[in-house]
Structure 1
Amino acid sequence: MQTRWKIANKVFDFVNAHLFHDESNLAPIHDNPTLYSENRKRALDFVLSELSAMENGCTPMLFVFGDLNFRLDSRSFLNRLTESTNPHSVEQEQMGSLADGLQAQNGNLQVAAHPSENLRRTVSAIEFRRDSDSDDSQNSCVLRIEKKKFDYFNHKKLLDDWKSYRDDDKEAESFKSMFEMNINFPPTYPWSEDPENSETLMKTRAPAWCDRVLMNKAAFSFVKDGEPAYKSFGMETCTGDHKPVMLAFNI
């Protein structure tokens, strides 16, 4: 959604965007670390290109804001969290497609004689465990990651120490024409949706600064001179799994 405003003879474009989320926690680790971030980059690059084509000689101050779904760099973040641990894949057997178990004989399809041959093993979880002489994987597990689970052994510490992994938030850097004020607030996602427990992170995803306000160079230069305040709010209130972010400045 785009709106254009003219204030004090200056043109402002405000564009709300909602980019692709990470469908699985496992895919960036097990398959392709940039699988989802590349999709987001293509989408936002398209939006920026379309906006540029609409300028018609006018270069407005551009603000792109919303749930951009930016995530932490999985490699650097996991290395930070799982130092002195070893990864262990947890596999499960699943049935393949029906076609996998069919064989052609004399032009007719028949079910394979051994259905067990149609089983395939898939990684259902990855556990990062400390070295231990015992077989108690539960007590030695520092982090367990599933498709939609991110279970760190000390989730309160994960939230309290958010400044320690700010450097792992790198996705915005891939948009060279866009700028952002310094972030000095906790991750905006994924917060508990339980009104009685809204000040904690859910164990569904890794923490991330999904909700952002990006600006083009003209807007960034203007905002810097306007005593800006860039912050999230609603930390003591249940606002869903995201916390709102605001950018305030003087005109």
Structure 2
Amino acid sequence: HVTQGEIASRNETQLFVLFALFSPVLFFCLVFQTVQSHKPHFLALHCQEVGGKNFEESMSHVDNFVKELLSSDALKEYSRARVYLDENYRSQEHFTALGSLYFIHDSLKNIQQFDFKAKKFRKVVGKETCSETLESTPTLEKAKFPQDYFPECKWSRKGFIRTRWAMADCAFDLVNIHLFHDASNLVAWEKSPSEYSGTRQKALAYVLDRITDQRYEKLPFFVFGDFNFRLDSKKVIEKLCSDATMQTIRTDNNEIHKLVFQETDNDRKVILQIEKKLFNYVNQEVFREDNGTSLLEFDKELSVFKERLHEQEIGFPPSYPYSEDSSQGKQYMNTRCPAWCDRILMSPSARDMLLKPENEEKSIVYDNIGPNVCMGDHKPVFLSFRITAGAGKPNANKHKCCVVQ
């Protein structure tokens, strides 16, 4: 997943920040192409599921990935870096499998990072990598959601990591987040909205309350990661299968095992089959045509937070679940209903920081990366924008943390 933000001031010093969410298995070339295209002064990569599904066997590859990234020619002009990897899978109580990586360009002279224990900003110098026990790292705040938030999953890796940055006379928080998934298509279909939607709502509210409480100065914030937002399954199916009849197939215990939707004529052609982990619709083009915008009306999970979170207009196809076959970069897997799981959201004050000059086209871009290339089951998403120096700074005397010394 990729989130990317560009920051540039109106004066001669141009600040360009790239916020990005990447899976460690992404091709290096696409990471570097993004950097070369946007030439950011600040590059942030947020990862979820570090180490993949088989993290016990694959975690060593993450370290190699990071070493290659830090030493790559494409990033040679980024002399400062902070890398945070939650690799301690032996700790069920704390393990989130989140990774947050930040790279600062040589041309950005004055940047500081917040120390949450000392409650003050510190100048960023050199490159540092932290892993294993991130709970004791003072430059971040990390939390795993309580187990009772998602009792259906015996051991969840869902949670968030928060860092705080100051540059160009402004400051903001960056939050890497991973919310709960839909465990069963059949359960998601039962009612509108689904019970999974309520679970994600509870978890996101937990994060927002945590990062806006009274412990620290309130600042603009950007939250980007795998929210696992799904379309309203019941409403989507009603639209896709409005002229179909439904057959319910049950197990010996009378539990629903499968739903089959068939056309009333046309030889009773099957147009949709649903099982716990099967969503096989006859025409995937509905999710790709015009970027799937005809289905955005069913993307409702963010509406609950309309006063607290904002998002740029979506102009790309659903970001999940893509085929992991390297020859099918545009194909969705028949496992879940495609949805915009990967998002870049921001607080109202962060939205006010975005600058869109009248004489500059596409100064704000919200899109995906590698639309035709296999990049895992999630397609990276990026947001590119500019801000002026001092943007989001409410009051210099009251909010001294916004000032970079």
Alignment of 1:78-97 (within 5 A): 78-93=237-252
Deviation at residue 241 of structure 1 after TM alignment:
0.3
Greater Cα radius of gyration, structure 1 or 2: 1
Question: Which of 157, 163, 166 in structure 1 is aligned with 2:296?
Answer: 166
| CA distance, structure 1, for counterparts of residue 355 and residue 317 of structure 2 | 22
Q: Compare the two structures and name the one with the higher helix fraction.
A: 1
| CA distance, structure 2, for counterparts of residue 153 and residue 37 of structure 1 | 26
What residue identity is the alignment partner of 1:68?
Answer: F
Question: Which of 343, 347, 355 in structure 2 is aligned with 1:212?
Answer: 343
Query: Is residue 330 of structure 2 the alignment partner of residue 199 of structure 1?
Result: yes
Gaps of at least 5 residues in structure 2 are: 1-160, 358-362, 388-405
Residue in 2 that maps onto 1:42: 202
Question: In structure 1, the residue corresponding to 2:296 is in which secondary structure?
Answer: helix
Alignment of 1:21-36 (within 5 A): 21-30=181-190, 33-36=193-196
Alignment of 1:132-143 (within 5 A): 132=265, 140-143=269-272
Identify if the C-alpha distance between structure 1 residues 248 and 133 changes in structure 2 by more than 3 Å, giving closer, same or farther: closer
Question: In structure 1, the residue corresponding to 2:255 is in which secondary structure?
Answer: strand
Please list the CA deviations of residues 128-177 of structure 1 after superposition, one character each: whole Å capped at 9, or x if unmatched.
1111496xxxx521111110011111223443251211111111111131
Alignment of 1:97-136 (within 5 A): 120-132=253-265
Question: In structure 2, the residue corresponding to 1:26 is in which secondary structure?
Answer: helix
Identify if the C-alpha distance between structure 1 residues 92 and 48 changes in structure 2 by more than 3 Å, giving closer, same or farther: same
TM-score, scaled relative to structure 1: 0.82
Contact in 1 for aligned 2:258/2:273 (Cα 8 Å): yes
Q: Percent identity?
A: 39
Q: Which moved more, 1:168-177 or 1:142-151?
A: 168-177
Q: Compare the two structures and name the one with the higher strand fraction.
A: 1
Question: In structure 2, the residue corresponding to 1:181 is in which secondary structure?
Answer: coil
Alignment of 1:137-152 (within 5 A): 140-152=269-281
What residue identity is the alignment partner of 1:160?
Answer: E
Identify if the C-alpha distance between structure 1 residues 201 and 12 changes in structure 2 by more than 3 Å, giving closer, same or farther: same
Deviation at residue 60 of structure 1 after TM alignment:
1.2
| Number of residue-to-residue matches in the alignment | 220
Gaps of at least 5 residues in structure 1 are: 94-119
Q: Which moved more, 1:84-93 or 1:200-209?
A: 84-93
Contact in 2 for aligned 1:125/1:145 (Cα 8 Å): yes
Question: In structure 1, the residue corresponding to 2:352 is in which secondary structure?
Answer: helix
| CA distance, structure 1, for counterparts of residue 269 and residue 304 of structure 2 | 37
Identify if the C-alpha distance between structure 1 residues 31 and 174 changes in structure 2 by more than 3 Å, giving closer, same or farther: closer
| CA distance, structure 1, for counterparts of residue 299 and residue 329 of structure 2 | 23
Runs of 4 or more consecutive aligned structure 1 residues displaced over 3 Å after TM superposition: none
Query: Is residue 375 of structure 2 the alignment partner of residue 239 of structure 1?
Result: yes
Deviation at residue 236 of structure 1 after TM alignment:
1.8
TM-score, scaled relative to structure 2: 0.52
Contact in 2 for aligned 1:91/1:123 (Cα 8 Å): yes
What residue identity is the alignment partner of 2:295?
Answer: Y
Contact in 1 for aligned 2:192/2:235 (Cα 8 Å): no
What residue identity is the alignment partner of 1:65?
Answer: F
Query: Is residue 230 of structure 2 the alignment partner of residue 71 of structure 1?
Result: yes
Identify if the C-alpha distance between structure 1 residues 8 and 233 changes in structure 2 by more than 3 Å, giving closer, same or farther: same
